[in-house]
Amino acid sequence: MSISEFSSKDLFDSREIDERIEELEDVEGEDTSEDDSAELNELLTFRDDCGSSEWPYGITFISDDYFEEYAQDLAEDLGLVDRENSMSPYIDWAAWARDCQIDYSTVELDGTTFYFRD
């Protein structure tokens, strides 16, 4: 998966980035193109920018555009709300998402902001 594919996803896992880094490192030295080298450097920088000791165990990255829907799913998963409940339409989901973001850090990849918990 390329950087542009990662940056266009709603969610991805740090282990997926590691798989791509390994692929690019395996190619390095053979027929390495400038594009492959640039992608490898950007992915390594992304990993370093996260600075999380949890990286090897899997960190979920949530795109900024998807975070509100993610927060809605989180509320339902935690049993805080039932989307089928008649009160659900009255919840200010944008405010809920902003409140949830307090517990997340941000990092950029290919111009897209992603949230993650450390």
Residue 93 pLDDT > 80, yes or no?
A: yes
pLDDT in tens, 39-72: 999 999 999 999 888 899 999 999 999 999 999 8
3-class DSSP assignment, residue 76: helix
Residue 82 pLDDT > 80, yes or no?
A: no
Residue 34 is predicted with a pLDDT of 82
Average pLDDT, the chain: 88
Residue 30 pLDDT > 70, yes or no?
A: no
Residue ranges per domain, the chain?
3-116
Burial 42-78 (b: 16+ CB within 10 A, else e): ebeebbeebebeebeeebebbbeebbbebbbebbeee
- Cβ distance 10 to 71 under 8 Å? no
CA distance 80 to 72: 10
